Amino acid sequence: MSAARTRYSGPIKQAEVHPHSLIEQGFASDEALAAILDRYPAELFDINLYDYDEAGQVSLRTGARGRLNGEELLAAIQQGRLWVNLREVETGWPELWAAAMAEFRKVQGAYPGLRAVRNAGQLILSSPRARVPYHFDAAGVVLFHMRGRKRIFVYPGDEAHLAEADMEQVVSRQTTEELPYSLAFEADAQVMDLEPGQALTWPIYAPHRVENLDRFCISLSMDFQTWPSRFRNGALYTNAVLRSRGGQPRMTDRMTGPELAARWAASLALKRVGGLKSRIAHFERDFEPEIGAADGAGALRA
Ligand SMILES: [Fe+2]
């Protein structure tokens, strides 16, 4: 394992906790959540159920929004084993988003040189025993934790834990964000327990996974792009295209700033001509949330 937690230099050198005040502002109460679940657009829901084998390998079932009202859906999550993600908080819950952006600016201020150029948020409601598999986000992340307790495992973003060829597949949407994972990685994890009122950030691209600690959890996951992350993502995309054509592109961590910028510019042109078609299938749904059903997952209804 390398001493650095990431091979990509950036203002955030290790996982660190910051305070936030989103709970005091009332965004984590059952009443506020039931009300927002009632009016949140159905197409912005991801409902997942993760299972793991003894080697830590994950399998995924996906849920439809279903017809429970907000209060019932909340109860199904609290009793079940579901992971519910409300995308685009910036449009779905503008009041929370405005408050979260104010908190983000304070976190950003703690890192000289960190300048986000685009932010987006997902509100995550998850069951007491839900676990999120090993993955990375092609962005910076601040996880504002609002209810329950979570254990976050952050791993070094080096080639052994996060091969660039795998990153290319994710960035070019040839696969979902799950990465090759081995239990041996656990020896290299930085492990942190997150309490309500704490926000966690980590080095850009660092792979991570999450275990809820026996309580219903609410977090706002805010991701952000900087110009360096845009250049990096563009370079990874261009490398994915080159590799799909039989090339053996150089790793982006060996590239200079101008080279990365040139590869980013190339990625824009490649995307315009449809360089790589997304291979992420439109999931067939496996279940819909149901109070009292095993894991909170009931049968799909027509
Ligand atoms: Fe993540």
User: 73: CA distance to ligand 1 center in Å?
Assistant: 23
User: 135: CA distance to ligand 1 center in Å?
Assistant: 6
Q: What is the pLDDT of residue 217?
A: 98
User: 136: CA distance to ligand 1 center in Å?
Assistant: 6
User: 301: CA distance to ligand 1 center in Å?
Assistant: 31
User: 246: CA distance to ligand 1 center in Å?
Assistant: 30
Q: What is the pLDDT of residue 281?
A: 61
Q: What pLDDT, in 10s, does the model give residues 225-260?
A: 999 999 999 999 999 999 999 999 999 999 999 999
Q: What percent of the chain has pLDDT over 70?
A: 96
Buried/exposed code over 258-292 (b: 16+ C-beta within 10 A; e: otherwise): eebbbbbebbeebeeeebbeeeeeeeeebbbbbbe
**Quick one: pLDDT band at residue 278, thresholds 50, 70, 90?**
confident
Whether pLDDT at 5 is above 80: no
* Averaged pLDDT for residues 145-151: 97
Cβ-in-10-Å burial (0-12, 13-18, 19+) of 198 comes to middle
- CA dihedral of residues 201, 202, 204, 207 (deg, nearest 10): -120
Whether pLDDT at 28 is above 70: yes
Q: What pLDDT, in 10s, does the model give residues 118-144?
A: 999 999 999 999 999 999 999 999 999
> Measured between alpha carbons, how far is 241 from 97 in angstroms, rounded to an integer?
35
Q: What is the pLDDT of residue 2?
A: 44
User: 205: CA distance to ligand 1 center in Å?
Assistant: 9
What 3-state class would DSSP assign to 222? strand
Is residue 45 within 8 A of residue 236, CB to CB? The reply is: no
- Mean pLDDT over each residue of the chain, to the nearest integer: 93
> Measured between alpha carbons, how far is 121 from 76 in angstroms, rounded to an integer?
23
User: 220: CA distance to ligand 1 center in Å?
Assistant: 11
Task: Please provide residue 119's backbone torsions phi and psi, each rounded to the nearest 5 degrees.
Answer: -120, 150
Q: What pLDDT, in 10s, does the model give residues 178-199?
A: 789 999 999 999 999 999 999 9
pTM assigned to the model: 0.94
Query: What is the DSSP code (8-state) at residue 47?
Result: E
Q: Is the dihedral of CA 91, 95, 100, 101 positive or negative?
A: positive
Whether pLDDT at 4 is above 60: yes
Beta strands at 217-225 and 140-147: parallel, antiparallel or unpaired? antiparallel
User: 177: CA distance to ligand 1 center in Å?
Assistant: 9
Whether pLDDT at 1 is above 50: no
> Measured between alpha carbons, how far is 229 from 10 in angstroms, rounded to an integer?
9
